Structure 1
Amino acid sequence: MSVQLVMTQVLNGLGLGMIYFLLAAGLTIIFGLMRFVNFAHGAFYAVAAYCSYAVTAAGGNLGWALLLGPLLTAVLAVVTERLLLRHTYKLQHEAQILITFALTLLIQELVIVVFGPMEMNVPVPAALSGIVFIGPVIYPVYRIAIVLIAVLIAVLMWLFLERTRFGAVVRAGSENQEMVALLGLNVDRIFMAAFALGAALAGLAGVLVAPLRGVSPGMGDEALGIAFVVVVLGGMGTLTGALIGGLIIGLVQSLMGILWPGGAQLMIYATMALVLLVRPAGLMGRE
């Protein structure tokens, strides 16, 4: 095994890890504040990915998709939250899982009706289609762009959650929902905004991953599983945990792709199980 191959896979793992972070960040915001188990999170990711396909197929560029994809998923999230999901917040988690799973199936079937059941490719933007040399490694410019965009979003999310009033409410709500209500704040609107933000982050991840892996109706299922692994691994309700968990899972998946290709997916869950044996609350979670 060459050093160049290992370095390439490490860089690939970092890129994947940042996409997983965006996915998990949205999920951890929704669960941390709302204690709501959202199995439709992967469907929002898939919808945004198909938005990038539609934009590029119509002659647009990925820059427009980066704007429209998250916006579309945020609007979809607000509509479903207002019409359906807000009535499930006080139900048991099992009921929330069943309802959001049914929503996932509905969205998946609508995607098949509109775009068909076949997998389709999304072209890499011409401006980002080149390569760069990182030491001995030849690496695609687009993958570097993914890392930079995800890092920028991570910084903006940290500033948003740590330096704004809404961020303070989200952090307070993740500790004690009742306290937020007692402060006289409109909990319904806060939940709606948090749900839209979480879906928009999943949508951004979907747009970024589309040129790498293409789009298919079932792509949200795999994304949902990995997002939950990252959230559990990093710790429920913590953005830092989502970042660390995403990078770990991305590196494990990428490196196992050359060490044991058939077991790469298995090792993702084995890594989560190993961490939970040592830290049941996750790497950054609290008991």
Structure 2
Amino acid sequence: MNIYVFQALNGLGLGMIYFLLSVGLSIIFGLLGFVNFAHGALFLVGAYAAFFTNQATGSFALGLIASFVCVAGLGLVAERWLLRRTYKMSHEAQILVTVGLTFVLTEAVVYFFGPESQRVAPPESLSSVLMIGPYPIPSYRLFIVIVCGVIGVALWWLFERTMFGARVRAGNERPQMLKLLGTKVSRVYAIAFGLGTGLAGLAGGLAVPLRGADPSMGVEAIVIAFVVVVIGGMGSFSGPLVGGLIIGVTQSMMSAIWPEGARLAIFLLMVVVLLLMPKGLFGRA
């Protein structure tokens, strides 16, 4: 029984990274109505930005900051000069454009950093193990839970309790009305898009000490992100949190029970949720 409790505790850290990754996708997909299949590639870029900054400066904190800032900036540039032109196109066109962007970003990472996996160790202050009762939990995973929890609360406040959040929601539902009120909708979309992509980059930076950085992690990330968003529900902020924790704990538990079935289990879970609750656990109509 102890091994399962230990795996469940470890799964919380993994689940919070999934939350950070998927809440950015939920912002872009659920609130802006844009299908961004390049989200996993942005997670990849964030991981390598953290790796490069950590190697150059020796600072893990600066690596995390760089993972957010670099990817948010990349997202703003891509939104302004490429993706904005696809907002009124069909979802199929959006998928083709963002899949193409995924290939470009992935090949750029391979060109500059090579195809080999790269590692970043957590700082010494987060390398210890803490005891929660009789159960050990790595300090770094607890750090992930705290950081992502704080970010989650800040995002909820931003989108549910501020004028900016109201403008983002209104821009998705009634953009013409928002224009009549004097708000520049394109600017609101750009900020929301940059924030969503920056969160994906930060998730990549946090994930590097757990699984390393390699060019294939972007594909894995986009699959997990969509599974979490589908289970939690699009356009919701509690949905990605609950969905991410469910997937993280499920994967961690299954790695102890049946390692070969860990990936299969999350897709079966998604199918069950879709059959019972097509909008997800907390999805909006």
Counterpart residue number, 2:9 = 11
Question: Identity of paired residues, percent?
Answer: 52
Determine the C-alpha separation between the residues in 1 that align with 2:172 and 2:226.
17
Letter of the aligned partner of 2:60 in structure 1?
A: L
1:271 CA displacement: 0.3
Structure 2 counterparts to residues 47-62 of structure 1, below 5 A: 47-62=45-60
Determine the C-alpha separation between the residues in 2 that align with 1:178 and 1:246.
34
Counterpart residue number, 1:154 = 152
Change (3 A) 1:147 1:177: same
CA contact (8 A) 1:174 1:237 kept: no
CA contact (8 A) 1:14 1:247 kept: yes
CA contact (8 A) 2:171 2:185 kept: no
Counterpart residue number, 1:71 = 69
Letter of the aligned partner of 2:144 in structure 1?
A: I
**Structure 2 gap ranges (5+):** none
Counterpart residue number, 1:103 = 101
Structure 2 counterparts to residues 127-276 of structure 1, below 5 A: 127-276=125-274
1:133 CA displacement: 1.0
With normalisation by structure 1, the TM-score equals 0.96
Determine the C-alpha separation between the residues in 2 that align with 1:286 and 1:217.
34
Determine the C-alpha separation between the residues in 2 that align with 1:36 and 1:265.
27
Determine the C-alpha separation between the residues in 1 that align with 2:94 and 2:179.
22
Determine the C-alpha separation between the residues in 2 that align with 1:34 and 1:184.
19
1:124 CA displacement: 1.2
Q: What secondary structure does 1:139 align onto? A: strand
CA contact (8 A) 1:32 1:174 kept: no
Determine the C-alpha separation between the residues in 1 that align with 2:221 and 2:39.
9
RMSD: 1.2
Q: What secondary structure does 1:223 align onto? A: helix
- Whether 2:97 is the aligned partner of 1:93: answer no
Determine the C-alpha separation between the residues in 2 that align with 1:118 and 1:70.
23
CA contact (8 A) 2:168 2:189 kept: no
Q: What secondary structure does 1:238 align onto? A: coil
Letter of the aligned partner of 1:20 in structure 2?
A: Y
Determine the C-alpha separation between the residues in 1 that align with 2:180 and 2:229.
28
Letter of the aligned partner of 1:113 in structure 2?
A: Y
Letter of the aligned partner of 1:10 in structure 2?
A: A
CA contact (8 A) 1:234 1:240 kept: yes
Q: What secondary structure does 2:136 align onto? A: strand
Letter of the aligned partner of 2:105 in structure 1?
A: I
Number of residues of Structure 1 aligned to a counterpart in Structure 2: 285
Letter of the aligned partner of 1:286 in structure 2?
A: R
Determine the C-alpha separation between the residues in 1 that align with 2:36 and 2:27.
11
Q: 1:43 aligns with which of 37, 41, 44?
A: 41
Counterpart residue number, 2:114 = 116
1:23 CA displacement: 0.7
